[in-house]
Amino acid sequence: MKGSRNLKLGQVAGAFALGATAGSAAALLLAPASGRATRKRLVTKFRSMGRSATRGLQQSKKLLAKKAVLWKDATAERLGDTREWLMERIPNGNGKHHPMPRRAAHR
């Protein structure tokens, strides 16, 4: 559920950025300035947006790397728990089935 909310937020942010870009370009193109000044403003604006997008992507990359480490650690812990559970039950040979206890999902 949380992942779908983040996706929608990402889509909204992307649509906002696209609208802001289109609005800025239209404002510059329709402004009463010379072609040279308008082109200079457009170049400056697009470079600024490029830097901003790069920063945003770097932040997203760091966040995803952190989440990947958390998932890896949670998976390793769960596998360790499963291994311990199996090691406790397989060698005893008593034929009893002991269901593995459920744990809360890691988030």
pLDDT of residue 71: 94
> What is d(CA 38, CA 27) in angstroms, rounded to the nearest whole number?
10
For residues 103 and 57, the model is more confident at 57
pLDDT of residue 1: 45
Cβ atoms within 10 Å of 71's Cβ, excluding its own = 11
pLDDT digits (tens, 9 = 90+) for 22-72: 887 787 777 777 778 878 888 898 899 889 989 999 999 999 999 999 999
Q: How far apart are the first and last CA of the chain?
A: 12
SS3 breakdown of the chain: % helix, strand, coil, rounded to 5?
Answer: 80, 0, 20
| DSSP classification of residue 105 | P
| DSSP classification of residue 92 | T
> What is d(CA 13, CA 98) in angstroms, rounded to the nearest whole number?
49
Average pLDDT over residues 88-101: 60
For residues 99 and 85, the model is more confident at 85
pLDDT digits (tens, 9 = 90+) for 75-86: 999 998 888 888
